[in-house]
Amino acid sequence: MRIIRDYQFAEKSDRGASVAIGNFDGVHLGHQYVIDLARKEADALGAPLGIMTFEPHPREYFAPKSPPFRLMGSEARAHRLEKVGVERLYELSFNDTLSALTPREFAQDVIVDGLGLKHVVVGADFCFGQGRAGSADDLTALGKELGFGVTIAPLLSDDVGEVSSTAIRQALGDGRPQDAARMLGHLHRIEGEVIRGDQRGRDLGFPTANMSIAGLHPPKFGVYVVEIEILTGPHKGTYGGAASMGTRPMFGENIPNLESFIFDFKGDIYGEHLSVALIDYLRPEEVFDSLEALITQMNADCDKAREILAAR
């Protein structure tokens, strides 16, 4: 998959794609449906399958001090999009210039002149252009005028309700990773670099791989059953484990992070990149009367996690 970040300097081989447009936070089943529609058009046209998205997320750009809401960072999104077969990722820089384009200017300058797109697919609630002035119907009219096809995808629902990033955030915030996975079509993953912590877990007999969750919507704090994929380095592979998400209240106030204890693993993975999938929620964070009580509970958590992983 090729990543193109400037629509004004796209190479000839990166033009002429069939593209789904959106933020694709989570790459959930609704997003995958939109991508599949773009894929059908790509196959019919003999064109590359592409995604047009924006970085930073427009919501981050206009409200930089708002609480973190993203389900995944740009790197994790790119990994997931590549897995579903996307060939061109147009990850356009969202800045003053792009945000000031009118709907017509966006269609002309970005879609036609910049990228020469043959077809675009958007959701029924799609808005674009300065002040979100353009609708999906406006894009259809502009496509007819300017020479590119447009498909409007209906919003996708399941037995519970609309499949959306908002509903997935709610499920994760409630400690329901299995419900989130149902809407995502895959396990919710947190990706990032292993950073050095205070090594308290090592002292307790549970060495952990620590990762920042800064900038991401935080799932409910507590202990999870997880699947850890080591993406880089000599220990590449997939492992089971248990993880603590939160502030570690047993040891005072701390910056929220994710600490994963990898079962049956020994090795130095500082600086390597991990993808940690949330499988099940075991319990909330707690403050224990003693370190001995904490260790007893951690052993019980690991036993339960192994049982759940063995049953998958």
Residues with a catalytic annotation lie at: 259
Task: Count other Cβ atoms within 10 Å, centred on residue 20.
Answer: 31
Nearest-CA neighbor of 54 among 112, 162, 156, 129? 129
Retrieve residue 208's tokens.
């952990």
**Burial level of 106, CB count in 10 A (0-12/13-18/19+)?**
buried
How far apart CA 6 and CA 142 sit, in angstroms, is: 22
Cα separation values, 24 from 33, 34, 197, 228, 246, Å: 11, 10, 32, 23, 26
Q: Which of 121, 267, 91, 273 is nearest to 191 (CA)?
A: 273
In the block, which residue shows the tokens 């209240």? 249
Give me 222's structure tokens: 């507590």
Distance CA 160, CA 236 (A): 37
Q: Is the dihedral of CA 35, 280, 261, 236 positive or negative?
A: negative
Q: In what order do the strands lie in the sheet with 119-123?
A: 2-4, 88-93, 49-55, 18-21, 119-123, 149-153
Give me the DSSP letters along 142-167: HHHHHT-EEEEEPPPB-SSSB--HHH
Neighbours of 312 (CB within 10 A): 9
